[in-house]
Each structure stands twice: as C-alpha cells, then as structure tokens.
Amino acid sequence: MTRNLYLGADLAPVLAATGQQALVAAVTAVYANVQATNFPERAKVLADEIADGDPHLVGLQEAALWRSQTPADPSSSATHVEYDFLKILLRELSARGKHYRAVAEVTVGSDFEAPRSTPTGLQDIRLTDRDVLLARTDLPTRAFSVTNAQSAQFQNFVPLCLALLGCPPNPPLQVKRGWVAADATLHGRTARVVSTHLEPASRTVQEAQAAELLTGPLNTTLPAVLLGDLNSAAGGVGATPSSATQSHANLLAAGFKDAWTATRPRDPGFTCCQAPDLRNLASQLTQRIDYVLYRGDITARATQRVGARQADRTPSGLWPSDHAGLKSLLRLH
C-alpha cells in the first residue's frame, strides 16, 4: 500500500514571503490550516484504510512532525511536539488491533522553522517531513519477515534561494527528497520493496531522482516493488501544472509494470489532489501520480484506490488526505 498523508497545508505562501512581516503572516495562516485539517481526525480514517486489508507493507509520504517553541527563539530549534503524524497513525492502528512498526524512515524537505503570530506573542513552528515504510509485526517469521532495511536522501535536489535567508550571498535552502526500502520475505519468497516521494518542482531533478532509484535500491536481482508519490503522471504530465516529466515512463522502460493499469486498464485511477483545506465538496482528483510498480517474478492480482469516495470523508467533512491511496495485491512467484 502507498499513502500520502498530506502535511496539512500548502507551504507555498511561506516560501513566497519576501519580508519578515509577510513570513510571520504566511506561517500563521499555514499553521492554522494544519490545525484545521485536523490530522488526529483524519488518522482515524487513514487507519481504517490500512486495517481494511492488513497490507504487509505500507509506504507513507508526508509523515509530518510538527513542533513548536514558545516564545520564538531563532537561536535554538523547536522541540515541543504538536503533531507527530507517524505516532498518531500507529496509535490508531493499535487501537484497531493492528500491529505495525516503522522499519525504515528518512527525513526529507528542509526541516524548516519560522515564527507565527499568537495572541501571546510569536511562536516558532518547525516542520520535519518524513518518508516511512511500515511493516506488519503480528505474523510468524516463517510467514513474513523484513530484513535489510535501508534509507537515504537523493543526491539530486532543488535549491531554493530565499531572500529571507540572505540568499544571495548566503547559500540556498536545500529541499531534499529520499527513499526507504527493505527486503520482504513472504512464505520463503523475497522481494525488495522501495517507497519514495519524488520532487514536483523540477522535471530535471525529479527524473534524476528516479534514475538514482534505478542505480541504487532498485539495482537488485530480487523481484522489486516501488511504492510512492512520483509526481509524474502516466502520459508524461507532471504534478505541477503544465510540467511534463518522464519519471513514470522511464521506470516502465526499465522493466517495471504498473499495478493499476495491469488490473484496471479502463479506469483513470486519479489520485491527486483535493483542495488544501480538504473541504472541497466534489472530488478534485484529476491526475494519477501515486503508484505501485513492480518488476520481476511478480503478478498484480488486484488494485484499488482508498480515500477517493464521498463516503471516505471524516465526520466533519474532511477528505482523509489531498491524495487518494493505493492498495495492491501482488503475487510473488
């Protein structure tokens, strides 16, 4: 299964701020949206999605860790946890009698911190973004086991030159992406499973990151499965409007098959994206950028979207994420 959890807000206003006052206003608005999109409420639906099917492995993107510091202090980093998406989700799974643990984790993004305005003064808000691979822990090892857990950041990344950070002449902000992986053995048969979240802002960087996967964790003689938000739609359209990317096509050219088209060739299977506040009445999913790809001695038996129907919304009307998730039943020969 692959699931983008959604950070809780669109960060573009923060990155576009051109002065300190504008930055504080942007962070204030963005964090208000994080609170309004209410991950603890969404996590109940997300946990239901996972619990309904018990996938052996789940690739998570945007498993955010939001922290604060009061009062704001630029000389030290915020440490007070406001929302730990991973911990909250695992707690909800445990409450449903489901047993998972994070077997691989990588910090991505830039671990950015900036002040917001509160009634009592400025408060620092810190965002740490993570990609995570979850695995079931309730099965006997003869039936299912995970070894060789790995994670890394990509060498290729987008540099953001922000005037607020004194760039230039100071160096640009490094917005890193990465991957997590493990070798999963199911009834004596082993496959390499990799999960990632590729860069949406630059075609060149995104395609280079996909190439790093092929020469890195996917460079294996084992059957391989790639999960994740590739930000590259089938047909070459990128997640960023009007951008064309070949990452998906390049992975297919490298021998991977697409579980969605293998099992549902007549269904567009859109997975992105709902409105930033997650309260749009009609679904706005118009692109397919989340995938389960596979290569080697594997057959796709079934694939389904989760979190894409009106009935999937939370009691207060939130979509569970700005993305739909994907579940695939794969047979390892």
Residues 6+ apart with CB under 8 A from 19: 164
Tokens found for residue 129? 């973004």
Q: Are 49 and 308 in contact (CB under 8 A)?
A: no
Q: Which CATH number, 3.40.50.300, 3.40.50.11540, 3.90.1300.10, 3.60.10.10, labels domain 2-332? A: 3.60.10.10
pLDDT by residue for the chain (333 residues), tens digit each? Answer: 999 999 999 999 998 898 899 999 999 999 999 999 999 999 999 999 999 999 999 999 999 999 999 999 988 999 999 999 999 999 999 999 999 999 999 999 888 899 999 999 999 999 999 999 999 999 999 999 999 999 999 999 999 888 777 788 888 888 999 999 999 999 999 999 999 999 999 999 999 999 999 999 999 999 999 999 999 987 666 666 656 799 999 999 999 999 999 999 999 999 999 999 999 999 999 999 999 999 999 999 999 999 999 999 999 999 999 999 999 999 999
Domain ranges of the chain: 2-332
Long-range pairs for 117-124 at CB < 8 Å and ≥24 separation?
A: 117/24, 117/25, 117/28, 118/70, 120/70, 121/70, 121/71, 121/72, 122/24, 122/71, 122/72, 123/68, 123/69, 123/70, 123/71, 123/72, 124/68, 124/69, 124/70, 124/72, 124/73, 124/74, 124/78
Residue of 178, 210, 207, 200 lying closest to 293 (CA atoms): 210
- Residues 315 and 178: their CA atoms lie apart, in Å, by 34
Helix axes 39-51, 85-95, angle to 10 degrees: 50
Residues 6+ apart with CB under 8 A from 219: none
pTM: 0.95
CA 254, distance to chain mean position in Å, is 23
